[in-house]
Amino acid sequence: MPQVSSNNTNQESPKPWKGMSKGRPPKHDYNGDDFYDEVFFLAFNGANDAEIASAMGLSDNTFNQMKNGEYEHWQDEKGKAHTERLVKVLARARRRILQAIKGKPSE
């Protein structure tokens, strides 16, 4: 039987994620304007929720959870503000589409 050399010193290798929050980093900066501007642009150009989610690199389920206040990472006050902003952006874009169709000036 071959002899196996053991260099194990019972020390764990350093974990690069130690001290970092769990999970992967968010795909977008939800505190800035870029995410919401892109959602507005897509919605104003007629994209439905599934198309917006896909364009933003999110699953339909995640986007719907974000929109409905059910997204697990948006359960604090800051997250609730993100949900409110997302809903308002979608509503504003779709309202402007209807105004354009009806020939009314946008707000």
Q: Label residue 15 by pLDDT band (50, 70, 90).
A: very low
Per-residue pLDDT tens for 55-94?
Answer: 999 999 999 999 999 999 999 999 999 999 999 999 999 9
The beta-carbon contacts of 26-30 under 8 Å, at least 24 apart in sequence, are: 26/73, 27/56, 27/57, 27/58, 28/56, 30/74, 30/82
